[in-house]
Amino acid sequence: DAMVIQNPRYQVTQFGKPVTLSCSQTLNHNVMYWYQQKSSQAPKLLFHYYDKDFNNEADTPDNFQSRRPNTSFCFLDIRSPGLGDAAMYLCATSRTRASGGPNEQFFGPGTRLTVL
Amino acid sequence: GQSLEQPSEVTAVEGAIVQINCTYQTSGFYGLSWYQQHDGGAPTFLSYNGLDGLEETGRFSSFLSRSDSYGYLLLQELQMKDSASYFCAVRDFNGGFKTIFGAGTRLFVKA
């Protein structure tokens, strides 16, 4: 089955210790997104890639970086995690972004990050 | 600015009908989507309304009124497995297309 896969499902890191979360997709979608979701809140878009074109949200902290080495993979790097970065990180894909239609997004199961 | 409002929690009994409302304020509205998210799970797409009116998909229906900046998700014949969070999401254009999620409505279905 075509899908969005995130590894690991649970990640524990120490305050200030860099961490990388990974996402892969078998849907062959052009667009990949990273969201941060805290308890009982909406998913907050951090950035997205349209093919290799990186698009940062204006309010995404510099502490968050991303890499997309190929169509299938995308990584989220948190350079110096703080306690406030503990959250669920969701990766999503969509076929395109330049559409006024539903632009259905397909989400992975998420990585829950704990910062000690 | 852009904002979406939906109730934080709704409780209903099994077999009943429940309506989850969403009001929005955006500068370049294109359409309204709904996503379902079970605890610990990924959001999954339920429906999209680009035009005014009702869209029906099985037990779920979604409605949009552009003039009122308002939409709702209607769930019929509620089942326990429908207990989840439901997010409305606006498809917006402001220099580029973007999807903006609401804070979500947590639905509790009781026996």
Residue A78, pLDDT score: 97
State the pLDDT at residue A45.
92
Output the DSSP codes for chain A: ---EEEE-SEEEE-TT--EEEEEEESS--SEEEEEEE-TTS--EEEEEEETTEEEE-TT--TTEEEE-SSSSEEEEEESS--GGG-EEEEEEEES-SS-SS----EE---EEEEE-
Give pLDDT, residue A100. 65
Across the interface, which of B8, B42, B104 has its CB nearest the CB of A110? B42
- Backbone CA torsion sign across A109, A64, A74, A20: negative
Q: Phi, psi at residue A2, to the nearest 5°?
A: -70, 140
Question: In the 8-state DSSP scheme, what is residue B50?
Answer: S
Mean pLDDT of chain B: 94
CA distance A73 to A4: 10
Residue of A nearest to B92 (CA): A100
Closest CA relative to residue B104, chosen from A38, A87, A42: A42
Residues in chain A whose Cβ is within 8 Å of chain B? 4, 40-43, 45, 90, 92, 97-110
User: Measured between CA atoms, how close is B96 to chain A, in angstroms?
Assistant: 7
Q: Work out the minimum CA distance from B99 to partner chain A, whole angstroms.
A: 8
**Mean per-residue pLDDT pooled into runs of 10, chain B (111 residues):** 91 97 93 94 93 94 96 98 97 83 96 93
- Going edge to edge, which strands form the sheet with B60-65? B3-5, B18-25, B70-75, B60-65, B53-57
Q: Which amino acid is it at A64?
A: F
* Residue pLDDT, tens place only, B82-91: 999 999 999 8
pLDDT of residue B2: 79
Query: Nearest residue of B to residue A45 by CA position?
Result: B100
Encode chain A (116 residues) as per-residue pLDDT tens digits.
Answer: 669 999 899 999 999 999 999 999 999 999 999 999 998 888 999 999 998 888 888 889 999 999 999 999 999 999 999 999 999 999 999 988 766 677 899 999 999 999 99
